[in-house]
Chains A and B, each alone.
Chain A
Amino acid sequence: MRVNLTVNGQPRSDEIEPRLLLVHYLRDVAGLTGTHVGCESTLCGACTVLLDGKAVKSCTVLAVQADGASVTTVEGLAKDGKFHPIQDGFWEEHGLQCGYCTPGMMMAAVDLLSRTTNPSEDEIRHALEGNLCRCTGYQHIIKAVQYAAEKMRAAAGR
C-alpha cells in the first residue's frame, strides 16, 4: 500500500505492508531511530510522537492510519541547529539518565505545553502518566518541563 505523509516537515511517499506499525515505519522505512519501542502495547510511551500535533503512541498506530498526516518525532524538535526548549529543559535539569524513554517523554511534554503554557506540578504528572521512566523517579522530568514552559512563555512574551 502507498502512504503519503509528512515527517518532520519533509513529505514522503512509501510503499508499505498494510500491517506495518507507525513506529516501525519511522524507524525502518524513514530511518528515524530516535523513536523507541518499549512495550508494543501503548503502556510505556517510549514511542510517543506527534500526529498532526497530538501525542500518540506510534506502536499502536498503523502507518496507513497516518496517511495524509503530519508526524513530528524527536529528530524534528530542534530548529536551525538549536534545541527546542523541552530538550534544553531535559539537559539542564538532568531529566534523563539512560535516555530510552526521553524522546517519547519529551513529545508528550510538547503536547502538554501546546495545550497549556504554565502547567502545575500535578498537571505535568498527570499529562505524563502514559510515559514510563525507570531511571529518574520523575522529579527531574517535572523540573525539565517547568523549565521549558518558562522559556516558552518568555519567548512568547507572556
Chain B
Amino acid sequence: MAVVPKFVGERIKRREDPRLISGTATYVDDVRLPGTLSAVVLRSPYAHARINSINVDAARSAPGVVAVLTGADLKDKVGGIPCVAPAEHIPFHPLLAQGKVRFVGESVAVVVASDAYKAQDAADLIEVDYDSLDAVSDPEKALEDGAPILHEEFGTNLVTRALVPNPAVDEAIAKADKVIKFRIVNQRLAPVPMEPRGALADWHQALGHLTVWTSTQIPHLLRSALAAVLGLPENRVRVIAPEVGGGFGAKLNFYREEALVGYLSRMLGKPVKWIERRRENLATTTHGRGQITYLEVPVKNDGTVLGIKAKFICDMGAYLQLLTPAIPGFSGLMMTGCYKIPAMSFEQVMVFTNKMATDAYRGAGRPEAAYIAERTMDMVAGELGLDPVEVRRRNFIPKDAFPYTTCAGLVYDSGDYNAALNKALEIVDYPKMRAEQAEALKHGRYIGIGIASYVEICGIGPSAMLPPKVPGWESATVRMEPDSRVTVLTGISPHGQGQETTFAQMAADAFGIDIDDVTVVHGDTAIVQYGVGTFGSRGLSVGGAALMMSVGKVQDKLKKIASTMMEAPPDQLTFTNRTVALKSDASKSIPLQAVVDAAYGWKMPIPGMEPGLDATSVFEPTGCTFPFGTHISVVEIDPDTGVVKFLSYVAVDDCGNIISPLLVAGQVHGGIAQGIAQALYEEVVYDENGQLITATLMDYAAPRAQMLPRYELAHTVTPSPLNPMGVKGVGEAGTIGSTPCVVNAVMDALKPLGVRHIDMPLRPEKLWRAIKDAKKA
C-alpha cells in the first residue's frame, strides 16, 4: 500500500469544491420538498410611519394564495426577535410591524401562495394606509431635543451608554507636548453575501416537529432562538444550514423571516419557503460599522503616544438584532492596537435611527478599532513631522512583553509586531519607494504609501467575555468507523471557509490515514452535537481545538488497545501510514484496522472498556488569540479625476501556525477586498428622511474584479500558546489591516496638498473636490 503523506501545512485542494463547481451543491433555495408554498413579505416604503389600516381582502382572494398575515394576526401568538447583548433599552422586535414601521423595508405583511410569482402578485394588492412620521437617520441628530422618537415607551432614542473611564488619560492630556484631536467615521456597510438569506420550514404535524433549512452561520444558536420564539420544545426543532453562500457576519443572526416560515408551516401544515431578494438583502439584512468617533490623543514630541480618549456615536438602527449593542465594545477595547499606550478611556453612545439594525460584519468592531489606531499613528506622524514607520516602532509593544496586558485589560497572547512590519517594508523596498514618491511629486504625480500595523482579537473566550446565549466554546465529535475511516462532527458551521478540508487534514495526520478517509459533517442540529457556529475567526482556533481534544481521546483508546496487542506501553505508540507503530521503530507496527476491529469486536481486549471509538469534546478557550500583521499599499491619485490606482499591495499577516496555506491566502485575499471596499467604494446611504438610496447593486458599490489590485502575501509565524495547534485565526485579518492601510496611502498621497483627513469611502468625486479645493487655497 502506498505511503500515506502528511497533510497539515501542505497545499491541499478543497474537499468542498467538486459539488460546488459541478452545480450539484444544495443551497436553501435548491432544497425541493413536494407541495412547498412560497412566502413573499410586504415591506414598508416609509422610514417611519403609523399604520392606520391594512386591507388584505384582494390579496386573500388572489389566485394561488393560501394565507395572508399582518402584525395583528401574530399579536401575542409569537415572541419577538431576541437581542442577547445587554442594553438599557431593548424594544420588542416583532415578526411583522405592530401599528408602526420604523425603517424602510420593515416587514408589514406576509403572503403565502403556490409559487413566488403569485405571492408577489397578491402582495401588490395589499393596501396599507400609512401616516408618515418624521424620521431620523443621522445618529448624532437622533439624540437632539425634538428628534423624532422611534420607540415612544423609552422617551429617548438612546439604546445604551457605555463608559470606560480612566483619569490617567486626562492627566496625560494635561501634561502632553501636544494633543491631537480629530473625528473619523466608519461608515455603514452592507455585508452582501452573494447568496441572499432564505429559509424553508417543514412542520410535521404527527411528530410535532419542525425542520428549518436556513442560510445561517449559527444553526444551533438559531434552533434555540427559534424554539423560544415559536414556543416549541428544542428537541422538536431541527435546523439545517445547508450550503451557505457567504455570511460575513450577516448570517450570525436570527431574523424575522426565519421565524415567520416556521410559524406559517405549522399553521398551514405545508412546507413554506422564503427567499430574500437583493433589494431586501440591502434593506433588511444587518448592516455593519456605523460609528462616528471623536478622538483626543496626547503625544510627546518624539511620537510617543501617551493615551487615547474617545467618544463614539454608534448607529444601531431601528431595532436590535442578536448582538447589535455588543459590537461597538470591541472597537473601544481594541483601539490601542499594537501599541504600549499607557492609558485609554472611552464613552460610547448607542442610538436608535430609522434604519436597518447594524450588527456583526467581517471584523465586527475590530476594523473600526484598527482604523482608529492606524489613522492615529499617521495623524501623529503628520502633526509631528515624523515618518509613520518610526512612530509605529516607537510605540509598539515589544516582543518580549508577551503575554501583554493592555491598558484596556485585554491579554494579548503573543506577537512580534516589528517582524511583520520589517518584512513588509523589505518587500516594498520602503526607502526606494519613498524616493520614487518624492521624484514623482516633482512631476505632479501624487503617489502615496500607506502602512497599517494591525492587531485583532479572535477565538473570543472564555465564554464569560460574550453574552450567555452566544458562548465562546465549541464542540467536536470524532468517530472512527468500523472500517477505520473517520467522521468528524463539528459544532462550527463553515460557509466558504473550508474546514471540511482543514479539519480533514488535521484528523488524517493524527491517525496516519489518508485525507480521503475523513469526512467532516456540520450544519445539521439533528446530526451534530450542540455547537456555537462560525464567526469571529474562531473556526480553527476554537473549533479545531475541540476537534483535537476528541482526536486525542480516540487516539488514547486506540493506543490502550494496541498496547495490549503489541505489548508496548501506550505512550510509546504513534499513528503512521495506517498502522499503530512504535515511536522509536516504525517497522514494529500493527495495522490500524486490526486495532479498530478489536475496539468494535465482541470481546474488548481490555476488560471493562466500552466498545466503540468515538469521543465528543468541548473546548473552552482560556483567552483570545491576537493575530496581527502589517499591510502596505502604494497608490497613485489621478488629480484630474480623483481615481485611486494601486501600484502595489503587500500584506504580511501573522495568524500563528498555518494548517492550509492555500486557504489562508484565500481568506486574506477576500478580507483585503472587503477592507479596500470600505476604504474606497462602499457605503450604505440613507437620505435625511431615512429613505434607502443604496438599495441595488447598481448603487451599492461592492467591488468588481477590475476595481481591486493584485495582492502580494507573506507571513511571519508567531504561534498562539492558547490552543494545541498554535493557530490564531485569519478570517477577518485582511479586512482589518486593509482599510486603514489604503486610507493612509491616499492621505499620504494628498499630504503635499495639505489634506489632513477625508472620511471614507474615498470615492473619486470626493478626492477630486479635495484636490481642487486644496489647489485653489
Contact = CB atoms under 8 A, between A and B. Distances in A.
B13 A36 contact: no
B696 A39 contact: yes
A38 B696 contact: no
Nearest to B25: A99
Contacts of B696: 39, 41, 43
Contact of A135 (B26, B670, B698, B705): B670
A87 B22 contact: yes
A137 B734 CA distance: 10
Interface size class of A (residues with CB under 8 A): 35 or more
Contact of A103 (B23, B32, B698): B23
Interface stretch (B133-141, B190-198, B512-520, B750-758): B190-198
Contacts of A75: 22-24
B16 A41 contact: no
Interface string B238-250: 0000011110100
B496 interface: yes
A146 interface: no
B710 A139 contact: yes
Contacts of B663: 94
Contacts of A103: 21, 23
A99 B673 CA distance: 17
A134 B245 CA distance: 10
Interface residues of B, number: 56
Nearest to A126: B706
B672 interface: yes
B458 to A, nearest CB: 18
Given A75-B23, A98-B496, A100-B27, A38 B278 contact: yes
A112 B497 CA distance: 28
A132 B194 contact: yes
A35 interface: yes
A99 B496 contact: yes
Contacts of A133: 194, 705
Contacts, number: 172
Given A134-B194, A140-B665, A129 B705 contact: yes
B17 interface: yes
Given A97-B497, A100-B246, A125 B706 contact: yes
A152 interface: no
A17 B63 CA distance: 14
Contacts of A34: 22-25
Contacts of A39: 277-278, 696-697
B194 A90 contact: no
A19 B117 contact: yes
B442 interface: no
B30 interface: yes
B702 A132 contact: yes
| Residue with the greatest number of chain B CB neighbours at <10 A, chosen from A46, A83, A90, A133 | A133
Contacts of A90: 17, 21
Given A44-B697, A74-B23, A137-B670, A132 B704 contact: yes
A87 B19 CA distance: 11
Secondary structure dominating the interface of A: loop
Contacts of A92: 13
Contacts of B195: 36, 38, 98, 100
Contact of B666 (A17, A126, A140): A140
A137 B711 contact: yes
A75 B30 CA distance: 14
Contacts of A131: 704-705
A147 interface: no
A90 B734 CA distance: 22
Contacts of B671: 137
Given A39-B696, A41-B278, A46 B194 contact: yes
Interface in A43-67: 43-44, 46
A102 B246 CA distance: 12
Contact of A98 (B24, B30, B246): B246
B210 to A, nearest CB: 24
Interface string A12-38: 000001011000000100001111111
Contact of A38 (B16, B18, B194): B194
A97 B195 CA distance: 12
A33 B192 CA distance: 21
Contacts of A142: 705
Interface string A135-158: 111111110000000000000000
A104 to B, nearest CB: 9
B669 A43 contact: no
Nearest to A59: B278
Given A44-B278, A100-B27, A137 B708 contact: yes
Nearest to A139: B669
A37 B29 contact: yes
B498 interface: yes
Given A94-B662, A137-B672, 7 more contacts: A39-B697, A41-B278, A73-B23, A94-B13, A97-B498, A99-B243, A139-B669
Q: Which 4 A-B pairs have the closest CB atoms?
A: A34-B23, A100-B245, A99-B20, A98-B496
5 contacts: A32-B23, A91-B17, A133-B705, A134-B674, A137-B711
